[in-house]
Every structure is written in C-alpha cells, then in structure tokens.
Amino acid sequence: MSDPIAAARAEGRTLLTEVESKQLLHDAGIPVTQARLATSADEAAQFATEMGFPVVLKIVSGDIAHKSDVGGVILGLDDADAVRAGYDSMLAAVRQAAPGAGIDGVSVQQQAKPGIEVIVGATTDPQFGPVMMFGLGGIFVEVLKDVAFRIVPLEARDAAQMVREIQGVKILEGVRGQPAADFDALERLILQVSDFVAQHPEVAELDLNPVLAYPDGVMAVDARVVLAEPAAVEA
Ligand code: ADP
Ligand code: MG
C-alpha cells in the first residue's frame, strides 16, 4: 500500500481511515490489530478465513469518525457465512444512518481477547504543540474526565507518571482478583506514540481508543489519525 498520509492529502482528506491509521502505526512498531479492506462480502469472508475467527467488521469511510454510531462495527463473527451476512447488513445500516458518506468498503480484523480498555491519544495545543493524553476507556474519560496529559516529547519518567496519576489506576493494578495490567507495555506504548507524533508534525490528532491492556502486553484495536489542515503545516 502507498503512504497513507500522501494518499489522504492527494484526496484532500484530513481524516485517515482506520485501515490507513493502523498501517502507519504498525509500520512505526506500535501494536495494533491490523485491518484489511474488503470491497465485497466474499472478499471479507476470504480475509477472515485467512486470518482466523472470530473477526470484527468495521465500516471504512473517510467521512465517518465514529463507526459504531452509524452501525459500522460488528464484533464476534465466527465463520465465513456470518462475515458475508455481516458485510451486507453493515453496508445497509451505514447507508441509512450516514446517507452522504463515501464508503471504501469494510475492514476485517481479528477480534482481540478482552482486556482493560484504555485510551492513548495526542492532540495539538495552540500554545504547547503536541500533547499526549492517557486515561481509562468509556465513562472514565467521557464523564469523569479522569485523564493525564504531558507535552511531547515525553521522557520515560513522564509515561510512568501518566499511567499512575489517574484516579482509575486501581483498575490497572487489578481489582477483585483480576490480574494487573502490564504497566511497562503501557508506558512503552505512550512513548512510541509520543515519538510518532514528534516525527510527524503533519499529524494534528491521534486516537487509540481503545487500547486493550493485558497482564502481558497491550493491543490497540481502533486507531484514528487526523492531519493538520494543509496551510497549518507550513506555519
Ligand atoms: P468507533 O469508531 O465507534 O470508536 P471501534 O473500532 O472503537 O469503533 O469499535 C467499537 C468497540 O468495539 C471498541 O471500543 C471495542 O470495545 C470493540 N472492538 C473494536 N475492535 C475490536 C477488536 N479488533 N477486538 C476486540 N474488540 C474490538
Ligand atoms: Mg473507537
């Protein structure tokens, strides 16, 4: 595949699709569930058979930032027939929920095993430039605003502090007999993303939401890269 940033620029897009975002991050050594773009139900079934079940299907559109809001995510598909049916029903649902959106197809990826959902992100602050963000997934970020921030570039000590200063750290440390998350892997991921945005000034926003944190390792199952407006890069 060609350079996703160049491809998006050539089409005048600032939003990279999940497939493009994950390709970039995978190339940078960041652990992601890689997604393959299928353009027919049969191709989706073939990719799924090659990668192994269960799989997840997601809508691929440069116009859709939040896929589940428009029926664009189906989890837990266990065989080729379920993938074929899922492909068709997803396209129908998304066309109804987002009538104007251009659709590239449907991505196929392996379903990751359950873990603690965390968010690793980067935004651009008008004053400080790129800033890293870390928090637990879902209500912890959206409702409780339980997040830690640091200015890029981060040092190892920054990442170690970030994962420990959120209120929800107790969940990462393991509650009710659950094993603790792999703090080393979380810190490594935060540093990798910090390096990535430092090396890509054209990236205005990056979201890994969620990353699944395990007792051994981490895996980003969703990724969204947003480029700066072309004029802003020159400034
Ligand atoms: P959205 O664009 O709506 O954020 P996501 O790709 O984050 O879509 O998918 C929605 C949810 O589905 C995620 O928050 C996660 O819980 C689950 N999910 C997505 N992809 C995977 C995967 N590969 N393995 C396991 N769970 C997944
Ligand atoms: Mg997501």
CATH number (3.30.420.10, 3.30.465.10, 3.40.50.2000, 3.30.470.20) of 116-234 reads: 3.30.470.20
> If you measure from the C-alpha of residue 186 to the centroid of ligand 2, how many angstroms do you get, rounded to a whole number?
18
List, for residues 86-127, the tens digit of each pLDDT value.
Answer: 999 999 999 999 999 999 999 999 999 999 999 999 999 999
Please work out whether the CB of residue 76 comes within 6 Å of at least one atom of ligand 1: no
pLDDT at 134 over 60: yes
Q: How confident is the model at residue 144 (pLDDT cuts 50, 70, 90)?
A: confident
Interval 31-44 mean pLDDT: 97
Atom number, ligand 1, closest to the C-alpha of residue 111: 24
DSSP 103-149: --EEEEEEPPPP-EEEEEEEEEETTTEEEEEEEESTHHHHTT--EEE
pLDDT at 137 over 90: no
The predicted pLDDT at position 155 comes to: 98
The predicted pLDDT at position 139 comes to: 77
User: Average pLDDT over the chain, rounded to whole?
Assistant: 95
pLDDT at 234 over 70: no
Please work out whether the CB of residue 220 comes within 6 Å of at least one atom of ligand 1: no
List, by residue range, all CATH 3.30.1490.20 domains of the chain. Answer: 34-110
pLDDT at 1 over 60: no
What's domain 34-110's architecture?
2-Layer Sandwich (3.30)
Give yes or no for a contact between 223 and 21, defined as CB atoms under 8 angstroms apart: yes
The predicted pLDDT at position 230 comes to: 86
pLDDT at 79 over 80: yes
Atom number, ligand 1, closest to the C-alpha of residue 66: 2
> If you measure from the C-alpha of residue 115 to the centroid of ligand 1, how many angstroms do you get, rounded to a whole number?
12
Considering only CA atoms, which residue is closest to atom 14 of ligand 1? 210
More reliable by pLDDT, 148 or 139: 148
Atom number, ligand 1, closest to the C-alpha of residue 210: 14
List, by residue range, all CATH 3.30.470.20 domains of the chain. Answer: 116-234
Q: How confident is the model at residue 142 (pLDDT cuts 50, 70, 90)?
A: confident
Please work out whether the CB of residue 89 comes within 6 Å of at least one atom of ligand 1: no
pLDDT at 172 over 90: yes
> If you measure from the C-alpha of residue 117 to the centroid of ligand 1, how many angstroms do you get, rounded to a whole number?
10
H or E element: which one contains 44?
Answer: helix 41-51
The predicted pLDDT at position 143 comes to: 77
For the CA atoms of 112, 199, 12, 211, the dihedral, rounded to the nearest 10 degrees, stands at: 20
Interval 41-58 mean pLDDT: 98
* Residues contacting residue 98 through CB under 8 Å, at least 6 positions apart: 61, 63, 64, 70
Interval 194-200 mean pLDDT: 97
Give yes or no for a contact between 93 and 71, defined as CB atoms under 8 angstroms apart: yes
Please work out whether the CB of residue 75 comes within 6 Å of at least one atom of ligand 1: yes
